[in-house]
Amino acid sequence: MFEGLTDKLNGVFKTLKGRGKLTEKDIDLVMKEIRMALLEADVNFKVAKQFVSSIREKAVGQEVLESLTPAQQVIKIVQDRLVALLGEEREDLNLDHRPPVPIMLIGLQGAGKTTTAAKLAGYLRELKKKVLLVPADTYRPAAIAQLKKLGNSLDTEVFDSNPELSPVVICRDALEYAKVNYHDVLIIDSAGRLQIDETLMEELQDIKRKINPSETLFVADAMTGQEAVGIAGKFDSAVGITGVILTKMDGDARGGAALSIKSVTGKPIKFVGIGEKSDALEPFYPDRMASRILDMGDILTFIEKTQKVFKEDDTEKLKKKIKKNSFDLEDFRKQLQSLKKVGTFDQVLGMIPGMSALKNKGIRPDDNEIKKIEAIIGSMTKMERQNPAIIKGSRRLRIAKGSGTKVQDINKLLKQFQQAQKMMKSFSKMGLKGLKRGSMPFLN
């Protein structure tokens, strides 16, 4: 996400860093380039104009123009303004109500409400909340069945909705059921339409009056850009929303919706969907997202994700292996498998500062590479995995045939493994600080 904008801003900042002191004319040229980058990212025109104006106002001050590091000063101003544009601080769900706490998801058909309802249930389960999913979309035949399937996969109860009843009655009955069965939260998957109509809005208003939700979250497809922002405004005017969930952010390389929606609607982005898996819903942190946009990484999110994946016992075992210098290819494979649970290679590297530098060198993350590595290691004998030094010509040929790869792939893997071993040794010399939080070494 934000790939195009990140590349453009990096180009602007690179030009700045090559200069000494800046003049007002230099600042104006930079502001013009930033404005163009924002517009190309499908950011709302008024938002882009106000954003650039606020940066220029600070950038032409004496502190920047007379600074010995003006480029860094400008980057800091851009970062601060990005954080402000995205919403300043993280706004979590409002669960400060007597349970069961109703949360209502609204939006157009195709935005991903049903899958988002399930992902949100997964997020709340991690917070030890007992969740009831409520399928209130009686218009789309597969909606109820889809939510039941998703609920079963998460071991989360789904209310037994009767499609013959009105959505208002379904939600009322579900709320009563949740009270009797001591649920903490119920998540209502409301109906959507291909376009906004009066009937839809009246139905949503009726549901809202009946259940008085703590949160009314607008679910928007981030890939629709400014269109999503405009629709969010209409839903807010007609129904009233408390926040936004942007879906399909992993497929949106521009990011215009994320950069515009808070400023236009005044409502915070609370979560972003970054994939199809049930855990592919991230809490939205404006400061972390601003860092990603500026290619500064998002180490805090990375640490949080790895802590969930890497168990403490496994980390202790790995630390002992590194101390004994016995980290082998089997350990290497396990680490890669764990890495896949954190996210795609592209997502993981997006959390690491300097991601664009890798892309500029022609290094593009490819999840198929991990599958290939797993196949290669799986074709090795136990002795070969434990002692890669014995893998010579004939063994490499046999492994290549067994894994459906080429000898060159075997050579590449062994070289990557040697690099990982060296990195492990450096971790060991530093007192294994790099592993204390459950992190793992990355491949170059």
Helices 167-180 and 198-211 pack at an angle, to 10 degrees, of 20
- Domain 300-435 class in CATH: mainly alpha
Instruction: For the domain made up of 3-86, give the CATH fold.
Output: Four Helix Bundle (Hemerythrin (Met), subunit A) (1.20.120)
Element (H, E) at 157: strand 157-158
pTM for the model: 0.71
pLDDT, residue 387, reads 86
Residue 444 has pLDDT above 70, yes or no: no
Q: What is the pLDDT of residues 11-36, one digit of tens each?
A: 888 777 766 677 788 888 888 998 99
Residue 433 has pLDDT above 50, yes or no: no
CA pair distance 301, 370, nearest whole angstrom: 22
Q: What is the 3-state secondary structure (H, E, C) of 37-91?
A: HHHHCCCCHHHHHHHHHHHHHHHCCHHHHCCCCHHHHHHHHHHHHHHHHHCCCCC
pLDDT, residue 434, reads 43
By the 10 Å C-beta count (0-12 exposed, 13-18 middle, 19+ buried), 30 is classed as: buried
Question: Does residue 286 have a cis peptide bond before it, meaning omega lies within 30 degrees of 0?
Answer: no
- The tally of CA atoms less than 13 A away on the side-chain side of residue 119 is 24
Residues 196-223, mean pLDDT to the nearest whole number: 90
Weakest mean pLDDT among 242-246, 291-295, 302-306 = 302-306
Give me the amino acid identity at 426.
S
Domain range annotation of the chain: 3-86, 101-296, 300-435
Q: What is the pLDDT of residues 153-184, one digit of tens each?
A: 998 999 988 888 999 999 999 999 999 999 99
pLDDT confidence tier of residue 438, bands split at 50, 70 and 90: very low
CA pair distance 254, 157, nearest whole angstrom: 37
- Domain 101-296 class in CATH: alpha beta
Which has the closest alpha carbon to 216: 121, 107, 327?
Answer: 107
pLDDT, residue 204, reads 92
Residues 394-414, mean pLDDT to the nearest whole number: 91
pLDDT confidence tier of residue 292, bands split at 50, 70 and 90: confident
∠ Cα 399 405 410 (to 5°) = 60
Q: Report H helices in 212-285.
A: 226-238, 256-265
pLDDT, residue 255, reads 72
Q: What is the pLDDT of residues 224-258, one digit of tens each?
A: 878 888 888 899 999 999 999 989 887 655 677 88
Residues 98-124, mean pLDDT to the nearest whole number: 92
Residues 144-149, mean pLDDT to the nearest whole number: 90
CA pair distance 81, 56, nearest whole angstrom: 11
Which has the closest alpha carbon to 208: 190, 233, 193?
Answer: 190
Residue 360 has pLDDT above 70, yes or no: no
DSSP 8-state code for residue 276: S
Number of H helices, E strands in the chain: 21, 8
CA pair distance 176, 167, nearest whole angstrom: 14
